[in-house]
Structure formats: structure tokens, C-alpha cells
Chain A
Amino acid sequence: MRMTPKVVVVGSFSILAAVVFVMVCWPYAHRDMTPSEIFRPRTLVEAAGRAIYVKNGCVYCHTQSIRVVDWGHGAERIAQAGDYVGDRPILLGSQRTGVDLSQEGGEHPDDWHIAHFVNPRYTRPNSIMPPFKWLGMESLNTLTQYIQSLGMKKADVRMARQRYWKEESIKAYEAGPDVNAKWLADIVPEGWRNLPNPYATTPAGLKRGQFVYQQFCIGCHGPIGDGMGPAQPYIYPPPLNFTILKGREISGGIIYYQIMNGITGTAMPYFKRELESQKIWEVGDYVAVYFINQSDANKDPCGIDASWEPYDCPDGAEARQRNR
């Protein structure tokens, strides 16, 4: 084959033209732009927030692309082509340095996001997102409106839930510590309320609890558990001061349930995706021992002591008797 300039130009252009036709034009001609059942158009504020998102390169760390293999946040909704029919440009992203945001809307209340943008480590001590305080409150609010719209109609349902419980939680907080502590206990299902922490308080367990606390809780509740972490100025109702809970019959089960499920409407997120059972019980015991100064760990009813448990449950003899 004699390679002349004509052969190179005509040959390579023909190949490119054929490939563009097959790989770009053909799928474009057969594109399906039917909106999916969760699609809704963005409001003007949300569109403005999206422009901020694009301008600041959020897409380089956050995908909006839920896959079949995903477990994390948003995995209940595998992405469909119809979810993206309003996106120009589409912001699928190519890397998850941070979490996927497809279904971020309504996951947290607005104030959580503001604290998170001011410094991501205020609400997520492990985060490696750079701070966006420099955007200024007005832009942060606009950006938050966009984030809260991610997930479209599904996000709207979650946002309605956030707003309802935000009001309830503010009511409880403003009624004073007595009412607030009672409200926090009463919203936990009864079975959990009567459950003591099934793990024994041990130095090793407390150490593990502290480790979890520092990675997940310290930004809001603060190093001494008084709710004065760096996120506190941005959050309302403010993070709970654990020290008010002494003598209010806060069981290990209540603490566990609130950590696991979070308190929608407040900045307290659920941790059931992040933390396994043992981690939640032990961080709960850490809070109970050090900040509430009152722990029901390893109290009756205990059932059969687990084989690795360092101490017999103090009431275990009774339990053993009863269960015989």
C-alpha cells in the first residue's frame, strides 16, 4: 500500500466519519428523552445552584450515577436515562472521591449542608472535601437548594419529611431540656426503649467507642459531648448536649436507635449504612459513660452471655435461673 497524502487524509477522515456516524450520530438519532417517573424540572434557584456546582468542579469528586453494584446512599434508585433529560451538561462524573449525589436531596436538612459547606469536617470529620466558606452564605444557600433537589420527586418527598420533623424537633428543643429529653426518648419504639446496652463496659470497648465518636460525632457534639462542636453555630436545633441526659432513664437502646436511625429534621443523620451493630453500641456506651455519666451496659435482661464477653452479666445469675 502506497501511503500518499491523499490516502492518509481520505482514509483517516472516512474512518472517523464512519465511527462518528455509528458511535455518536446513531445513538443521538435514537435517543430516548422520555422523562422517568421521578423526573421534574428544576426551579430557577435550583438551576442557579447547579451553575455553581458546575463552576466549582463539584463533578470531579461527586458522581450522579447510581450503578447496579452500588450499596451506598441512593442505591435504591438505579439511574435511568429518563432521570437525566433536563441535564445540560450531564454531570455523571468519573470519580467518587466523595459520595454519589444522585439521591442526596432531603438526605439532610438545609442547615446540615450549610455547616458542611462551611467546613465539611464540621459535620463529617472524615471528609476530605475542601471548605467552601468562601462562596458566601447567599451562594451556599442557592447551592444547597440544588443539592436538595437531587433525586427530583423522590427528593421532594424526603424534603417534606425533613420540614415536618424540623418543626417538631424545634418545638421540643424550645420547650426546654426536660421536654426535649422526653421527646427524644419517646420517639424511639418501645422495644428499644427498654433495652440496655448488651455490651459490657470495658476499657477496650470504650477506646473503640471513642474512635468511632471522633470519626463520626465530634464535629457536632464536640470533644466533651456538650453539643458545642464546630458545626454548632450553623445548626438549629443545635446538637444535643449529652450532659443534660443524666437521670432521665436514657437506655442504651434509645441511644442505639437514635444513632442508627438518626433524627430526621435535625442535623443528626442516620448511621445505619456507615456503622455496624457493635460500633453503634460501643460509641453509645462511650457517650453514656463519659458524657452522660450513667451507663446501663451489661445490665439485665442479658440472656446468655456471649462467649467472648469479659464479665458475666451481673444479673446473669438471675437470668440463668429464670431461663432454666
Chain B
Amino acid sequence: MSSTSQDTPKTYKTARAFCLTSAFWFTMATSAGMIGAGYLMAPDFMANIEWLHFGRIRPIHVNINLFGFVTPGLLAAAFYFLPRLLRTELYSERLGIVSCVLWNIFVFAGVIGIAIGYTQGREYAELAWPVDILVGISFGLVVFNLFMTVKQRKEPILYVSIWYACAAVLLTATTYCIGNVIWRPDTGALLGIPDAIILWFYGHNVFGLLLTPLGLAVAYYVLPLVCRSPLYSHTLSLIGFWSLLVVYTHIGTHHLLQVPVPTWLKVIAIVDSVAMVIPVMIFLINIWYTVKGKLGVIYADIAGKFIFTGTIMYFFVNIQGSIMSLPQVQRVTHFNNWVVAHAHLGVLGFAGMTALGGLYYILPKITGKPLYSRFLADLQYWFVLIGVVGFTIGLTIAGLIQGNAWIIGETLYRTLPEIHIYYVARASTGLLVAIGAYLGLYNIFRTLFFNPGVSK
């Protein structure tokens, strides 16, 4: 890999801080997930604990994953590759540290808030107004830092990863404020059906304008470097970038196909959901042609392995997403565990694995030493991979049972015993992911702080 990691004495404090943030919150997110899975398996498990019960642990799990684990993990890589691709320093490491500390404070405050009942009760927009403001400031600082870094660049050409990273933080800072109805501090919500429309516009854009572009940025940066291959096509990256922004932003209303919202809005959402194959396949063609013939190299590199697997998950989750947006399909798949499987495939399988790959790529570069343990990282890879695949298969089956039973007239209570075994399977495979998270935290912590490895 690149031997230029010591050209300039960079400290990468911000990248380190975000690495640790991501690794820590990954353990918290999976622990929360395990508690939630426990409730679904055995509802009297941990009974009557106010701040842990399912209705609170589920949003805690989701928010930690989105804002504690995946986003910081991808940002850590961005804080590394931006200065490198631009041949400059990060504008301000101190500002970066401040933004990371604030970031952790908002995740922590958000989690505590939900745990004690301060929630806006809107999926993906649960965080209370004061926390929303903290989120806005944290995002603002990251945006400022990255853009000032771009401004002071010595490299005139902007590589595709930079477009994605900059657009992701900038646009998400905006959609976060819109989706959380930030101008209404008391409820953070609109009235009636428009509230659902604005919520799902924002909700789906958490994936569309934050996790996906940041993940693609990391993949576009790491995979060509791992394979030592030039990017297959600049034109494809261009079309992929702009088509992603145009198409992805339209599709949120596919969550509301069975709800009384205007039909034209549903039609747009369905058409664009299907059209998602364009940006997705453009990216995949571009990146898979880039790594063509180098799968052995990828397999030998822990970062490449994680991220390449992420691109495969990206393929599946998006094809699945396009199919799920069709009204006839959604009659079966809506409201049940099929969607939960889909969400995990996207957030953990694609974005999460890409974030982990990004972390394992930058850690040796920013510490100047090899990973503390390649074995632990490999173990984590297999645990997460088996976990997320098993999880997806199990919950997809459960979802098909539920959806098909409901549509032929079975009542919900009758389907509960049918899917119990799949809740057990999901908790079991989820346990693998959780173990993987703790292994990762230990490995990353040791790599950063008590790494006996010899400097390169």
C-alpha cells in the first residue's frame, strides 16, 4: 500500500478520535440491539425496567448505530483521506477534536434522553430539540473543517471521494434540520399527514445523503489503493454522484405507499426507488471493474475485505430496496420483519462494514504501526459477516411468514408463535455481531494506545 504515510508529520488526532468513537459506540449499539432482541424472544426478560424496555431500547439502538457507530466510522476515514487527497493538512485538528467531543456528547445526551423518555417519537428523528441543536453544531463544525481543508488544498483536482464526503455532511446538516422540524422546539413535528411526509423524506435521506455517500467515498478511496489499480472510469463516478443525489432524495415517500398521501408523491417515490439501480450499478460497475482480477489482493487485505464485502451488500440491499418499493410487493413486505432485515443489510452490511474497513485501513497509517491484531480483525470480519447474513435470512423468512399470513387473513396473534424461532435465530446471529463489536473495540484500542508493534 501507499508508502507515503510518513511524508508529512501528520498527527491525525481527529481521525483517531472518530475511530475510537465509532468502535466504542459499535459495542453500545450491538449491546442495545441484544437487549431489544431479548425482549422479542422473551418479553418478560428484564421486565419493568423503565429505561431499557423495548420501546426505548429500539430507538436507542437505531440512533447509536446511525450517529455513534457508522457515521463517525466513515468520518474517521474522511478525516484521514481528505487531507491526503488534497495534499494538505486538516484545516484544524483542534477543531476536529472539539467536533468529535461534541459529537460524543450529542450521542450520549440523545441516548440518555430517549432512555428517560425525552423523545420526539418520530423514527430517526427521536432526539429532543436541545440535542438536535448539538447535532447541528457538530455537523456544522465537521462541514467547516472539511471545507476549509478543501479550500487550502494544494491539489487542484478533487477526487470523487471528496465530492461524496463534502456533499454528505453538507446536505445531511440541512436535511437533519428540516426532518426534525427544528423550527418547532416543543414537538419537533408537523401536524397530520405532512408530518409523515417530511419525516420519511428526512428518514430515508439519513441513508441516502449520509451513510451512502460517506460509504461510497471510503470505498472509492480504499479499494483502488488496496488493489493499486486506477479508478476504472471518471465519467462513471460523475454520473454516479449526480444521479445518486437526484434519485435518492426522492424516494422517502415509498414508506407511505399504503397511507393516504397524494398519489403523485407515491408515483415519484416508486419510480425513483426503481431508478436507484442507476446510481447503484454505476458505482458498482465502476468499483468492481477497478478491482477486477485483484480479488486475491482484496482477500489478503483486511480493509479491502471489509469494504469489498460492503459493496456486495450494497448491491443486494439496493436491488431489494427497488423491489420492495413496488406496491404489489409491499403488500406483503410492509410492516414486518422483512423491512428490519433490509435495514440491517444496509446499515450494518453495507455502511457498517465499509466503516469498519475504513477504520482498519487508516489505523496503520495514522499510528505508523501495524494493527494490534490482524487475527482479531479477521475474526471480527467473519463474526459480522455471518451475523448480518444470518440475521438477514432469518428476519426475511419471518417477514415473509408475517406478511403472507396477514394478507390471507391470519390475525397477528396467530402469527406470533410462528415467528418466535426466527427471533431466537436473530438474537443468536446478533450475538456474533455484538462479540465482533467488542473484539473490534479491543483491537482498535490496543492499536491506538498500547500497541507493541514496531513502527514501519
Q: Do A58 and B170 touch (CB < 8 A)?
A: no
In the complex, what's the smallest C-beta–C-beta distance from B326 to chain A, in angstroms?
A: 14
- List, in ascending order, chain B residues with CB within 8 A of A3's CB: 158, 160, 163, 238
In chain A, positions 1-39 with a C-beta closer than 8 Å to chain B are 1, 3-5, 8-9, 11-13, 15-16, 19-20, 22-24, 27-28, 30-31, 33
A246 CB–B CB distance under 8 Å: no
Q: Contacts A1-B238, A24-B197, A60-B55 known; A95 to B191 CB distance under 8 Å?
A: no
Stretch at the interface among B6-14, B25-33, B37-45, B442-450: B37-45
* B194 in complex: contacting residue of A27, A60, A61, A97, CB < 8 Å: A27
- List, in ascending order, chain A residues with CB within 8 A of B123's CB: 59-60, 94
Q: Do A126 and B43 touch (CB < 8 A)?
A: no
Stretch at the interface among A64-72, A158-166, A169-177, A280-288: A64-72
A98 CB–B CB distance under 8 Å: yes
Q: Do A20 and B43 touch (CB < 8 A)?
A: no
The SS class assigned to the B binding surface is helix
Complex Cα spacing A268 to B137, Å: 54
Binary B-proximity of A301-312 (CB < 8 A = 1, otherwise 0)? 000000000000
In chain B, positions 225-272 with a C-beta closer than 8 Å to chain A are 238, 242, 245-246, 249-250, 252-253, 255-256, 258-262, 265, 268
Q: Do A15 and B255 touch (CB < 8 A)?
A: no
Q: Do B406 and A130 touch (CB < 8 A)?
A: no
Question: Most B CB atoms within 10 A — which of A12, A88, A91, A134?
Answer: A12
What is the chain B residue whose CB lies nearest that of A36?
Answer: B260
Binary B-proximity of A89-132 (CB < 8 A = 1, otherwise 0)? 11111111111000000000000000000011100101111111
B387 CB–A CB distance under 8 Å: no
Q: Do B43 and A129 touch (CB < 8 A)?
A: yes
Complex Cα spacing A54 to B39, Å: 19
A199 CB–B CB distance under 8 Å: no
Q: Contacts A23-B197, A92-B196, A134-B48 known; A11 to B242 CB distance under 8 Å?
A: yes
Q: Give the interface residue-count category, chain B.
A: 35 or more
What is the chain A residue whose CB lies nearest that of B60?
Answer: A57
* B192 in complex: contacting residue of A84, A94, A99, CB < 8 Å: A84
Q: Do B167 and A88 touch (CB < 8 A)?
A: no
Stretch at the interface among B15-23, B87-95, B367-375, B412-420: B412-420
In the complex, what's the smallest C-beta–C-beta distance from A5 to chain B, in angstroms?
A: 5
In chain B, positions 178-216 with a C-beta closer than 8 Å to chain A are 178, 187-199, 201, 209
Complex Cα spacing A119 to B53, Å: 13
B348 CB–A CB distance under 8 Å: no
- List, in ascending order, chain B residues with CB within 8 A of A84's CB: 192-193
In the complex, what's the smallest C-beta–C-beta distance from B146 to chain A, in angstroms?
A: 10
Q: Do B189 and A79 touch (CB < 8 A)?
A: no
Complex Cα spacing A267 to B309, Å: 53
Complex Cα spacing A153 to B195, Å: 23
Q: Do B121 and A127 touch (CB < 8 A)?
A: no
Number of A-B contacts (CB under 8 A): 224
- List, in ascending order, chain A residues with CB within 8 A of B58's CB: 57, 60
Q: Give the interface residue-count category, chain A.
A: 35 or more
A293 CB–B CB distance under 8 Å: no
In the complex, what's the smallest C-beta–C-beta distance from A241 to chain B, in angstroms?
A: 25
B340 CB–A CB distance under 8 Å: yes
- List, in ascending order, chain A residues with CB within 8 A of B84's CB: none
Question: Most B CB atoms within 10 A — which of A5, A99, A134?
Answer: A5
Q: Do A128 and B43 touch (CB < 8 A)?
A: yes
- List, in ascending order, chain B residues with CB within 8 A of A4's CB: 158
What is the chain B residue whose CB lies nearest that of A19?
Answer: B249
Q: Do A33 and B43 touch (CB < 8 A)?
A: no
Q: Contacts A81-B260, A92-B259, A131-B48 known; A20 to B178 CB distance under 8 Å?
A: yes
A261 CB–B CB distance under 8 Å: no
What is the chain A residue whose CB lies nearest that of B256?
Answer: A92
A–B pairs, 28, beta carbons within 8 Å:
A8-B166, A9-B170, A11-B242, A15-B242, A19-B246, A19-B249, A22-B268, A23-B249, A23-B252, A28-B194, A28-B197, A55-B117, A57-B55, A67-B258, A81-B192, A81-B260, A89-B120, A89-B188, A89-B190, A92-B196, A95-B336, A126-B413, A126-B414, A130-B39, A130-B47, A133-B48, A134-B50, A273-B411
Interfacial residues, chain B to chain A (CB-CB below 8 A)? 39-40, 43-44, 47-50, 53-56, 58-59, 114, 117, 119-123, 147, 150-151, 158, 160, 162-163, 166-167, 170-171, 174-175, 178, 187-199, 201, 209, 238, 242, 245-246, 249-250, 252-253, 255-256, 258-262, 265, 268, 331, 334-337, 339-340, 402, 406-407, 409, 411-414, 416-417, 420, 423
7 closest residue pairs by CB, A with B: A57-B55, A89-B189, A54-B121, A134-B48, A67-B258, A19-B249, A55-B117
In the complex, besides A89-B189, A133-B47, 13 extra interface pairs with C-beta distance below 8 angstroms are A12-B171, A19-B246, A23-B250, A57-B59, A58-B55, A81-B260, A89-B195, A92-B196, A96-B335, A121-B44, A131-B48, A133-B48, A134-B48
